[in-house]
Amino acid sequence: MTALIIILCLILLSIIAVQYGRFRELSAKIRGEEAAMKESNNRNAAFGVVFVIGFLIFCVVSALYYRNWMLGYGPHESASEHGIELDALFDITLFFTGIVFVLTQIFLFWFAYKYREEKGRKALFMPHDNTLELVWTVIPAVVMCFLVVRGLYAWNEVMADVDPDEEYMEIEALGQQWNWLIRYPGADNLLGETNYRLFSSTNPLAQDWNDTKNLDDFHPNEIVLPKGKKVRVRIRAKDVLHNFDLPHFRVKMDAIPGLPTYFVFTPRLTTEEYRENLKQYPEYQALNEDGVPLWESFNYELACAELCGRGHFSMKRIVRIVEQEEYDRWLATQTSWYEQSVMGTADDPFGDLANLSEIPAYRAAMIANEFNTDADRALAATDEADKTVILKHVYYATGKYDFSGITEKYYLTHVASFLKKNPDVVIELSGHTDNVGSAEGNQVLSENRANKIADYLRGQGIGNERMVVVGYGQDRPIADNASPEGRAQNRRTEFKIISQSAPITNTETTVQ
């Protein structure tokens, strides 16, 4: 039906056009051919001039109206260092092409006006003019050279890989239908090896657990990066083409299955600083649907810039740029994927090692470091509540108080050496359970757990007088017993420093 109406309209329009043409013809015959032609020429030429004036005014007004969307100007300044150079490149190109654009429009319509047909005017016959040839060859050539050389320079800067000697951090982004998986290198600052054959639901990034560099790699939900630090992003794709796009940082790189790519950039503005900057602009004072000003709810975003399927739109991740101190704090809250999901499972190649010396050096350092950090914190704490150290690497099955893993033994050797290093420290060693089973049974179980640890520490040469061994049964959970993870956390042993002779100095009170 719609098609029929359109066809009828077209037929009607062509009839009107034909009739109008006939009418013009007839009126020309009446008035005289020549006069009608002259009038038409004048009118068309004048229309052309009016049009070009209106058009150029429209261009200027729209450019002013949308000025805040021009790169490198207004609120949309680049949040990365190389982005400033890229924006400058765009603006310089826009400047030169803008001049050419305005001039050609003016000449086009002005010449149509000036050289409209007039009686007695003859066309100038000019077969060749060296000066003109030179002018319109040399000027564009020089400008193009300038743009191309500058562009090449910027390209080399932006696309350059990192120098092996320079300081940088490396993260990984894997695009898949339909989200981005992010991997951080952990404390060793090195990403572990991957192998596509290892993709599984418990190994979403196909990490090879035999490579110890993988053991501390973690998968955060958001991308957090410190300001001013060079970042190299390894970009991979699992299924189809994706594109790693950080528009505020002028970062855009294809993620190609089977062909890893990368991008290097340095954030120069924290999220807070970018928000402060947006605050100056009236359009960012508007409120979003939650009633928060747009500048305040602004976040850097990672998107996928390749139409990769039905859920393409959902490939969005928040990117947060923070100061180094905040980044370090955030880093400390992250747990490695290996520890979270692999350790002790069938995929864990370190699950049944025969003796302590077989713990990979790197993993050993990680465990030691973790315990020492916790112990130092407890030692320095002035608040009762902070003097507790949870024995994080001692895991218990439900109803069991034994521990046999090498990691556990290795971890406890650090507890022992901590007590040897601090001979005045007396600890309360306590066992805890989840809420499975009877309270009475759990009371006994918790005591057994604490006693088992105490036995082990005695075996390491720690005197009885240094430890008060108690069981708290199921009364002191630290996580929700409703979930298996929560129950696993509650099945634990911990110690609390109950006496240390060294005077406790509170650094905060010494500040004048």
Minimum CB separation from Cu ion for residue 262, in Å? Answer: 17
For the bound state, the minimum distance from the C-beta of residue 247 to Cu ion, rounded and expressed in Å, comes to 15
191 binding Cu ion? (CB under 5 A)? no
Q: Which stretch binds Cu ion (CB under 5 A): 157-165, 314-322, 379-387, 397-405?
A: 314-322
Closest to Cu ion by CB, 256 vs 426, is 256
Given the complex with Cu ion, which of 211 and 245 has the nearer CB atom?
Answer: 245
| Cβ 155 vs Cβ 142: under 8 Å | no
Q: Does 317 bind Cu ion (CB under 5 A)?
A: no
Q: How far is the CB of 13 from Cu ion (least distance, A)?
A: 45
Q: What whole-number distance in Å separates Cα of residue 335 and Cα of residue 331?
A: 9
Q: Which stretch binds Cu ion (CB under 5 A): 117-125, 165-173, 287-295, 301-309?
A: 301-309
| Peptide linkage before 295 cis (omega within 30 of 0) | no
Q: Which is nearer to Cu ion, 238 or 449 (CB)?
A: 238
Q: Taking CB under 5 A as the rule, does residue 205 contact Cu ion?
A: no
Other C-beta atoms within 10 Å of 493: how many? Answer: 24
DSSP three-state, residue 425 = coil
Give whichever of 70 and 181 is closer to Cu ion, judged by the CB atom. Answer: 181
C-beta of 390: minimal distance to Cu ion in Å?
40
Q: What stretches of 48-168 adopt beta strand conformation (E)? A: none
> How far is the C-alpha of 86 from the C-alpha of 77, rounded, in Å?
11
CA 239 – CA 4 distance, rounded (Å): 45
For β-strands 179-183 and 169-176, DSSP reports them as antiparallel
| Helix/strand/coil for 271 | helix
Q: Tell the smallest beta-carbon distance from residue 173 to Cu ion (Å).
A: 11
- Which of 4-12, 22-30, 315-323, 418-426 is the region at the interface with Cu ion (rule: CB under 5 A)? 315-323
Taking the least distance from each CB to Cu ion, the nearer of 12 and 307 is 307
Residue 452's SS3 state is: helix
Helices 33-65 + 81-114 axis angle, to 10: 160
Find the shortest distance in angstroms from Cβ 222 to Cu ion: 18
d(C-alpha 109, C-alpha 281), whole Å: 39
- Judged by beta carbon, residue 242 or residue 275, the one nearer Cu ion is 242
Residue 255 or 445: the one with the smaller Cβ distance to Cu ion is 255
Among 315, 322, 406, 462, binds Cu ion (CB under 5 A): 315
CB 494 within 8 A of CB 478: no
Nearer to Cu ion, 229 or 312 (CB): 312
- Taking the least distance from each CB to Cu ion, the nearer of 82 and 219 is 219
Using CB atoms within 10 A of its CB, is residue 174 exposed (0-12), middle (13-18) or buried (19+)? buried
Q: Does 174 bind Cu ion (CB under 5 A)?
A: no
**Which residue, 304 or 359, has its beta carbon nearer to Cu ion?**
304
Examine residue 389 and tell whether it contacts Cu ion (CB under 5 A): no
Q: Which of 174, 308, 378, 419 binds Cu ion (CB under 5 A)?
A: 308
One residue of 269, 304, 406, 454 binding Cu ion per CB under 5 A? 304
- With CB under 5 A, what is the number of residues at the site for Cu ion? 4
Q: Tell the smallest beta-carbon distance from residue 318 to Cu ion (Å).
A: 17
Sheet-wide strand order for 231-237: 179-183, 169-176, 231-237, 261-265
Q: How many CB atoms lie within 10 A of CB 56?
A: 15
The amino acid sitting at 280 is: Q
| Side-chain half-sphere CA neighbours of 366 within 13 A | 23
Binding window for Cu ion (CB under 5 A); candidates: 97-105, 139-147, 211-219, 306-314: 306-314
Nearer CB in complex with Cu ion: 245/434: 245
Question: What's at 137, amino acid-wise?
Answer: T
- N residues, the chain: 512
Work out how close the CB of 249 gets to Cu ion at its nearest, in angstroms, rounded to a whole number: 18
DSSP 163: P
Query: Which residues inside 233-262 make contact with Cu ion, applying CB under 5 A?
Result: 242
User: What whole-number distance in Å separates Cα of residue 79 and Cα of residue 248?
Assistant: 6
| Closest distance to Cu ion from the beta carbon of 304 (Å) | 3
> Least separation, in Å, of the C-beta of 245 and Cu ion?
9
User: Strand 467-471 vs strand 251-255: parallel, antiparallel, or unpaired?
Assistant: unpaired
Residues forming contacts to Cu ion in the complex (CB under 5 A) are: 242, 304, 308, 315
